[in-house]
Amino acid sequence: MTTTISATHVRDRFSDIVNRAVFNNEEFIVEKQGRPVVKIMRVNVSEIGPNKATFNPPVFDMGCTEKKYTREEIYE
């Protein structure tokens, strides 16, 4: 089932909308100024493959050293 909602509604209820997409398999078309701009839907991990389903945190170049740091290393 696809539901059309405004960007303002998504901003106010983002967590609820994501949970509905994940657990109820609902799809949402987000409109901005009356025009559809984004679709929110559940991702089927088997379609994208196991490598794409893992999260790789960003690496930061601090500029003063050759070593690159992850967020966890910076804030530990």
Q: Is residue 33 over pLDDT 70?
A: yes
Residue 1 has a pLDDT of 78
Q: Is residue 3 over pLDDT 70?
A: yes
Q: Is residue 71 over pLDDT 90?
A: no
Q: Which residues contact 4 (CB under 8 A, 6 or more apart)?
A: 28, 29, 31, 36
According to CATH, what is the number of the domain 2-74?
3.40.1620.10
Delimit the domains of the chain by residue range.
2-74
